[in-house]
Copies of this chain bind each other. A is one copy, B any other.
Amino acid sequence: MGNDKTGEQRNGDLWIEGLLAIGRDQKMTPKQKSILQAAIEVFSEKGYSSAATSEIAQKAGVAEGTIFRYYKTKKDLLLSIVGPAMGQMIAPFVLRNFNGVLDMPFERYEDFLRAFMVNRLEFARKHFKILRILIQEIPFQPALKEQFIENVLGQVVERVTAITEHFKEKGEISIEVPTPAVIRFTVSSIFGYLLARLLLFPEYDWNDAAEIDLTIQFILHGIGGPALNAE
């Protein structure tokens, strides 16, 4: 499976461990970890501006003042949670020597999609709360918004465009559909599934493998190359 080709989370690292450091060495006292954990909990439940640092401190089992030893302000605490998450969101594209499409490890678009969906579903499941915070706060935090636009909308679009055109050339994607639309359809479909799966109907008894297959079929037929449509 292509899954392990892109996965940045194969190991069972605690997300917390990875927050401030991807590859870098991170020093985190247990207190700091519990502060982060508690902050994620409270931010995700109440929303950033309704979250009280006192509640975070209490949930973390530290004094109120202690939080401010590690994070100068409450906003600092927020950014130190969601900032790194943004990095991880786009990890599959920017990590490693993924510069060109030359080293694209997937033969078919379908394989790429499947690997991507499996991987991002896993990621989203694991960091559900942080992603919630991120999505909720992006509109109100200029710092986040900017980082999001630059990194995600910038970096990723660029790479995904390359990938898409790579598969267009291979004839797997209809050249009649503009690349941005292809990306939009693909992303919509995948995120649509993640949303339904994790946010809207988390209680429903999902068969992930089947749903992923269905979703990929939908994407492929929707944007299938001329051969597909001509037939």
Q: Which A residues fall within an 8 A CB radius of B?
A: 46-47, 49-50, 132, 136, 139-140, 153, 171-178, 181-182, 184-189, 191-193, 195-196, 200, 211, 214-215, 217-229, 231
Whether B215 and A185, one on each chain, are in contact in the complex, defined by CB atoms closer than 8 angstroms, is yes
Q: How far is the CA of A222 from the CA of B217 in the complex (A)?
A: 7
How many copies altogether?
A: 4
Main secondary structure of the interface of A (DSSP, over half): helix
**Which chain B residue shows the least CB distance to A44?**
B139
Among B196, B218, B225, contact of A223 (Cβ-Cβ < 8 Å): B218
Whether A140 and B175, one on each chain, are in contact in the complex, defined by CB atoms closer than 8 angstroms, is no
Contacts of A195 in B (CB 8 A): 188
New contact pairs (13) apart from A175-B226, A178-B214, CB-CB < 8 Å: A49-B50, A50-B140, A173-B225, A176-B226, A181-B211, A182-B223, A187-B192, A189-B189, A191-B192, A192-B192, A220-B223, A221-B221, A231-B231
